[in-house]
């Protein structure tokens, strides 16, 4: 399977180098599509058209905006698309276009969290009455451009954890596009955007990024606590995420024997 990587930052760079080094059997790197002015010196670089022509699979590691802009043309080209910026799919029109139009197939990466499989099963079996995700990250990583100067400073200088937002997953993932894709992952897993309440907490003393997912329903009660070390390349991103991408690529390259 020939693979192109869209976005060569903390996630895409690790994924691309691992594929380049032959660490995923059955998967071969054709190149990276990147935005910055300087090409990464150690990786083959492609334009998006060449990437969609040459790759069987394009892996989006570039952000919600890039997915919204480039995703439709990728699936329209016939290449499959593996997505990490799943929060962009809070836009129903984009989700429909990427999932239902083809001919390329849309795949979602579980990214920084787990438990999505059993939440999907529970949502089907007895239905879920409440689903929540609380994301806590090192405070400065959560500063957003839409915040006014006073709020930005309060987050940067807080000595205590501060709750920045609590609301429907659709709104929270849009407000924190590089930090709350996990809220969208949970909503997509249970197939109900309105059921999932997401909270984002800025903690000046959080050495690890945590995501606590809870759900109750007819088949049982669920609680998952994930505590990830941040990526050395981007403290807003958990270090495990590129490895979740690589696990997903491995499964697509050689599906036999993998958890479906
Ligand atoms: N599902 C999940 O659990 C998670 C999802 N994510 C998602 O993954 C995204 C990437 O994370 P991360 O690697 O840490 O972010 P980085 O900022 O480290 O890397 C993103 C890279 O993509 C590049 N880029 C942006 N737009 C384009 C484009 N149109 N074409 C090509 N390259 C582009 C950026 O370039 P430049 O800097 O020059 O703009 C940057 O180099 C996040 O924004 C988030 O949406 C992240 C963590 C967890
Ligand atoms: O990496 C993480 O822990 C979560 C994250 O940034 C996101 O969901 O966008």
- The CATH superfamily assigned to 116-228 is Dihydrodipicolinate Reductase; domain 2 (3.30.360.10)
Reply yes or no on whether the pLDDT at 126 is more than 90.
no
Q: Which of 34, 211, 229, 243 is catalytic?
A: 211
Instruction: Quote the pLDDT of residue 39.
Output: 93
**Per the annotation, where are the binding residues?**
112, 181
- Is 211 a catalytic site residue? yes
Query: What is the arithmetic mean of pLDDT over 67-82?
Result: 98
Instruction: Quote the pLDDT of residue 120.
Output: 97
Average per-residue pLDDT for the chain:
97
Instruction: Quote the pLDDT of residue 250.
Output: 98
Residue nearest to atom 2 of ligand 1 (CA): 111
Q: In percent, how much of the chain has pLDDT > 90? A: 98
Residue nearest to atom 23 of ligand 1 (CA): 7
Instruction: Quote the pLDDT of residue 222.
Output: 98
CA–CA gap between residue 21 and residue 18 (Å, rounded): 5
Query: What is the arithmetic mean of pLDDT over 56-77?
Result: 98
Reply yes or no on whether the pLDDT at 235 is more than 90.
yes
Which residues, in sequence order, are bridge partners of residue 212? 134, 225
For 199-230, how does the pLDDT look when each residue is reduced to its tens digit (9 = 90+)? 999 999 999 999 999 999 999 999 999 999 99
Domain definitions of the chain by residue range: 2-111+240-253, 116-228
- For domain 2-111+240-253, the CATH class is alpha beta
For 140-197, how does the pLDDT look when each residue is reduced to its tens digit (9 = 90+)? 999 999 999 999 999 999 999 999 999 999 999 999 999 999 999 999 999 999 999 9
CA–CA gap between residue 78 and residue 240 (Å, rounded): 29
Each as own residue / partner, the long-range contacts of residues 224-232 (CB below 8 Å, 24 or more positions apart, any chain) are 224/113, 224/114, 224/115, 226/112, 226/113, 226/114, 228/112, 230/137, 230/138, 230/141, 231/10, 231/11, 232/10
Q: What is the ipTM of this complex?
A: 0.99
In the reported structure, the alpha carbon of residue 130 is separated from the centroid of ligand 1 by a whole-number distance in angstroms of 31
Reply yes or no on whether the pLDDT at 97 is more than 90.
yes
Residue 64 Cβ contacting ligand 2 at under 6 Å: no
- Ligand 2: residue of 88, 112, 164 to mutate (most ligand atoms within 8 A of CB) is 112
Instruction: Quote the pLDDT of residue 246.
Output: 98
| For the CA of 142, the nearest ligand | 2
Q: In percent, how much of the chain has pLDDT > 70? A: 100
Query: Is it true that 2-111+240-253 and 116-228 share their CATH fold?
Result: no
In the reported structure, the alpha carbon of residue 90 is separated from the centroid of ligand 2 by a whole-number distance in angstroms of 15
Reply yes or no on whether the pLDDT at 17 is more than 90.
yes
Task: Kindly indicate the confidence band of residue 36, based on its pLDDT and cuts at 50, 70 and 90.
Answer: confident
């Amino acid at each position: 399977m020939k693979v192109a990587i869209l976005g060569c930052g903390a996630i895409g760079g690790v994924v691309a180098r691992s594929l380049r080094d032959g660490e995923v059997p059955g998967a071969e790197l054709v190149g990276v599509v990147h935005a910055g002015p300087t090409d990464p010196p150690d990786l083959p670089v492609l334009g998006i058209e060449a990437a969609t022509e040459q790759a069987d699979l394009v892996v989006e590691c570039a952000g919600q905006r890039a997915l919204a802009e480039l995703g439709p043309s990728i699936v329209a080209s016939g290449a499959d698309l593996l997505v990490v910026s799943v929060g962009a799919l809070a836009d129903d029109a984009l989700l429909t276009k990427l999932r239902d139009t083809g001919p390329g197939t849309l795949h979602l990466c579980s990214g920084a969290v787990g438990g999505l499989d059993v939440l999907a099963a529970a949502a089907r079996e007895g239905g879920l009455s409440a689903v929540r995700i609380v994301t806590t990250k090192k405070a400065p990583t959560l500063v957003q451009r839409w915040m006014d100067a006073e709020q930005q400073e309060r987050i940067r200088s807080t000595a205590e954890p501060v709750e920045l937002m609590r609301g429907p997953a659709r709104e929270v993932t849009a407000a924190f596009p590089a930090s709350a894709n996990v809220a969208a992952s949970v909503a997509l897993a249970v197939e109900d955007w309105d059921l999932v309440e997401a909270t984002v907490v800025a903690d000046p003393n959080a050495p690890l990024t945590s995501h606590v997912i809870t759900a109750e329903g007819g088949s049982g009660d669920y609680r998952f606590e994930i505590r990830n070390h941040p990526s050395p390349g981007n403290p807003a991103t958990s270090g495990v995420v590129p490895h979740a991408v690589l696990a997903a690529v491995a499964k697509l390259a050689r599906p036999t024997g993998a958890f479906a």
